[in-house]
C-alpha cells in the first residue's frame, strides 16, 4: 500500500499547490449555495482524467506526439478559460449584489459541475508540471504498484479539491450577503490574474 499512499499524498499536494487550480474552482464554489464540494469533485475527476490521458500517451507514443506544442496550446486555452470563469464570476457577484439578500439563495452547484469538470480536464491536459507527479509510477518494480500509485494520485487530487471547494463554500454560505459577494469578487479577480499570467507570462 506504500505506492497508493505515496500517490495519494502527491495528488493532494499537487492540486492544492497550484494557484491556477484554486483560481479555477474558487469562483464556482463561492457562487454555489449548497453542495460546493461537488464542484471540487468534478474538477478533480476531470483533472485526473486529463493527467492520466497525457501520462498514457507519453508512455505509449511519446516519440510521435509533439507534446511540447500540445502543452503550449493547452496552457493558452487554460488561460482563456480562467479569464472567462473570472469574468463570469464578477458578473455573477455584481448581479448578486444588485438583487440583494433575497437573490443570494438557490443551488447552483449542479449547474457548475460541467464547467468544473471541463476546467479540470483542461488543467490535466495542460502544462508539464503534473507529469512530475505521475512519473514516479515508472520507478516502481511492479505494474500493480504503478497502477496503485496512479490511483492514489487521482484520489488525492479529487479529495484535495473537494475539500478546498467545500471549505470555500462553507465560508461563502456563512458570510453575510455583502461578504459573500466580496468573496466571489476576490475569487473571480484571482482567476482573471492567473488566467492572464497563463496567457502571456508562460
Q: What is the mean pLDDT of each run of 10 residues along the chain (202 residues)?
A: 87 80 81 73 88 74 61 71 82 73 44 74 70 71 85 91 86 68 80 80 60
pLDDT at 158: 92
φ, ψ at 81 (rounded to 5°)? -65, -40
Give CA–CA dist 171/175, Å, rounded.
Answer: 6
pLDDT at 155: 92
Which structural domain range is residue 17 located in?
A: 2-200
Give CA–CA dist 149/159, Å, rounded.
Answer: 15
Q: Model-level pTM greater than 0.75?
A: no
Q: What is the number of structural domains in the chain?
A: 1
Amino acid at each position: 500500500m506504500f505506492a497508493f499512499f505515496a500517490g495519494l499524498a502527491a495528488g493532494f499536494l499537487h492540486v492544492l499547490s497550484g494557484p491556477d487550480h484554486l483560481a479555477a474552482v474558487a469562483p464556482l464554489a463561492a457562487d454555489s449555495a449548497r453542495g460546493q464540494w461537488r464542484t471540487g469533485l468534478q474538477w478533480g475527476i476531470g483533472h485526473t482524467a486529463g493527467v492520466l490521458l497525457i501520462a498514457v500517451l507519453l508512455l505509449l507514443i511519446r516519440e510521435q506526439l509533439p507534446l511540447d506544442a500540445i502543452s503550449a496550446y493547452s496552457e493558452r486555452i487554460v488561460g482563456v478559460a480562467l479569464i472567462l470563469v473570472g469574468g463570469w464570476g464578477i458578473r455573477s457577484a455584481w448581479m448578486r449584489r444588485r438583487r440583494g439578500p433575497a437573490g443570494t439563495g438557490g443551488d447552483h452547484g449542479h449547474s457548475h459541475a460541467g464547467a468544473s469538470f471541463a476546467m479540470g480536464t483542461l488543467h490535466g491536459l495542460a502544462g508539464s508540471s503534473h507529469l512530475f507527479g505521475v512519473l514516479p509510477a515508472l520507478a516502481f518494480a511492479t505494474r500493480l504498484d504503478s497502477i496503485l500509485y496512479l490511483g492514489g494520485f487521482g484520489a488525492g487530487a479529487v479529495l484535495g479539491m473537494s475539500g478546498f471547494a467545500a471549505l470555500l463554500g462553507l465560508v461563502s454560505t456563512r458570510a453575510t450577503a455583502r461578504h459573500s459577494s466580496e468573496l466571489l469578487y476576490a475569487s473571480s479577480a484571482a482567476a482573471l490574474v492567473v488566467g492572464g499570467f497563463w496567457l502571456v507570462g508562460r
